[in-house]
Amino acid sequence: METPQTGEFALIGKSVVIKGELSGSEDLYVDGHVEGKIELRNNSLTVGPNGNVKANVSAKAIVIQGKLEGTVNVSDRVELRKTAVVTGDVTAQRIAIEEGAFLRGKVDIQKEPGKASA
Amino acid sequence: MKFFRSSSNQTAGPATPQKLTRRSSGMGEISRLLNCEDGLCVLDLGSTSASNIRFFTGKGHKIYSEDLLWSSLDPALRIQDSAGKPVLDSKKFLEENLVYENAQFDVVLCWNLPDYLEENLVKPTIDRLWSVLKPGGFLLTFFHTRDAGPDSICYRYHVTGTDMLEMQEVKFAPPGHSATEKKSPRLQRVFANRHIENLFHDFASIKFFLARDAIREVLVVR
C-alpha cells in the first residue's frame, strides 16, 4: 500500500473532515472524511484506507482503498483495491478491481474520453 | 432459520478459496445475445467480480453490480411476523435494494441467489426483477437439485468465457462478527421444478438446463 510522499500529493489526513466542494490542479490523497464534491480534472485522487468520501468525483484517475459513496467520473483509470467499498456509478476508460473489493453500482467503460453515454 | 452453514466456521482456511470451473449452457445462450447486440445493460446480483465486469464491459455493455445475498444480512431488516417468528422485512429490503427504473436491464444474472435467500424475500425479489427486466430480457439463475444437501457449498460465479464460469466459495462475516470469522451461507431449500415454474409464473418463457453437478440452470425470458 503506497504512502503519500510530501510534495507529491495534497494530503487530507485521517482526522480532517471537509464538507463542501474540493477542486484543484494537483494530485490529492484523502485519508479523512470528505462530503460534497471533488473535481480534479487533470489529476488523480487516492482514497486512503481510512478515507471516507461521500461525494461525486471527477478526476483523471482514482485509486480507492477506503470508502467512497457517490458518482465517479474518471477520464482514465479507476483502481479498486481489496479494501475498497464503493457505492455509486463508475464511468472510466479502464477499471481494475482487486479480489475482495466491494462495488455496488454501474460500471460504464467509455472507449473515448468525453463521449458520455445516456 | 439458519443462514450460515454450521460446519464452515473456520478461521484458518486458505487465504484464497479454491476455484472450480463449470460449463454453463445458460451463459452460452446469454453470450449469443451479448455478441450480437451493443450497449446492453446487465445486472449482476452476485459478489463484486472483476472478471464479470471485465467480461461485460469488454464487449461494450454496461454492468450493474449489487450483492443481494450480502445485503440481506443487514440486521436492520430483522423483524417479527404476527406469530412472533423472526423474519426479514421484504418491504424494507426492496426499498433499499434493486431500486432501478422499470425495464432497465437486458440481462439479469441471479446466479444461485434464490436457493440462499431467506424464504420471505424470494418471491418479492423475483417480482421486482421482473419489473426491472426489459420485455424479452433474460434472467439466468441456478437451483440445486434434490441431490444437494444443506451443507452444499455456496459459490459465487465469475464469467471467464462464452459459456465458462469459475466458481469460488462465498464466505461472509455474520453481523456483529469480525471479518476473520467468515462463514459460508447455508442452502435454505431445494426447489422442485413445479416451484420454479410458479416462481417465474409471470415470465414469458422458462428453459431448464440440467448439469452433472447437482445444479439446474434456469433461463427465463420476460
> CA angle, corner A80, sides to B162 and B166, nearest 5?
30
Least confident range from A21-30, B16-25, B28-37, B62-71: namely B16-25
**ipTM of the shown complex:** 0.80
Nearest CA to CA, how far is A25 from chain B (Å)? 30
Burial class (CB in 10 A: 0-12, 13-18, 19+), B32: exposed
In this predicted model, what pLDDT tens digit does every residue of A90-112 receive, in sequence order?
999 999 999 889 999 999 998 76
Question: Is B196 within a domain?
Answer: yes
What is the predicted pLDDT for the residue at B86?
87
Question: Is B5 within a domain?
Answer: no
CB contact under 8 A, A107 and B39: no
Phi first, then psi: what are they for B189, rounded to 5°? -170, 165
Question: Is A58 within a domain?
Answer: yes
Interface probe, candidates B63, B65, B100, chain A, greatest A C-beta count within 10 A: B65
Phi first, then psi: what are they for B128, rounded to 5°? -65, -40
Three-state DSSP at A52 gives strand
Q: Does residue B90 surpass a pLDDT of 70?
A: yes
CB contact under 8 A, B62 and A106: yes
Q: Does residue B99 surpass a pLDDT of 90?
A: yes
All cell numbers assigned to B194: 413445479
CB contact under 8 A, A117 and B39: yes
Average pLDDT of the residues of chain B: 88
Residues 6+ apart with CB under 8 A from B26: B140, B207, B209, B217, B218, B219
CB contact under 8 A, A107 and B67: no
State the number of CA atoms in the 13 A half-sphere of B196 facing the CB: 25
State the number of CA atoms in the 13 A half-sphere of B119 facing the CB: 11
Nearest CA to CA, how far is B61 from chain A (Å)? 8
Question: Is A38 within a domain?
Answer: yes
Position with higher pLDDT, B184 vs B13: B184
Tally of domains in chain A: 1
Helices vs. strands in chain A: H and E counts, helices first: 0, 11
Residue B120 CA to residue A110 CA, distance in Å, equals 39
Question: Is A14 within a domain?
Answer: yes
What is the predicted pLDDT for the residue at B82?
85
Q: Does residue B134 surpass a pLDDT of 60?
A: yes
Question: Is A2 within a domain?
Answer: no
Give the pLDDT band of residue B153 (cuts 50, 70, 90): confident
User: Tell me, what CATH number does B164's domain have?
Assistant: 3.40.50.150
Lookup result for grid cell 420471505: B120
State the residue range of the domain holding B54: 19-221
Question: Is B178 within a domain?
Answer: yes
The DSSP 8-state label assigned to residue A44 in this structure reads E
The DSSP 8-state label assigned to residue B120 in this structure reads H
Range B137-157 average pLDDT: 86
Low-confidence ranges of chain A (pLDDT < 50): 114-118
Give the pLDDT band of residue B183 (cuts 50, 70, 90): confident
Contact list, A108 vs chain B (CB under 8 Å) = 57, 62
What is the predicted pLDDT for the residue at B11?
42
Question: Is B186 within a domain?
Answer: yes
Q: What's the predicted TM-score (pTM) here? A: 0.86
Tally of domains in chain B: 1
State the residue range of the domain holding A71: 10-99
Lookup result for grid cell 479454491: B18
Give the pLDDT band of residue B214 (cuts 50, 70, 90): confident
Question: Is A72 within a domain?
Answer: yes
In this predicted model, what pLDDT tens digit does every residue of B167-179 receive, in sequence order?
999 887 766 677 7
Residue of chain A nearest B100, judged by CA positions: A105
Q: Does residue B147 surpass a pLDDT of 80?
A: no
Q: How many CB atoms lie within 10 A of CB B196?
A: 18
Range B100-119 average pLDDT: 94
Range B172-190 average pLDDT: 79
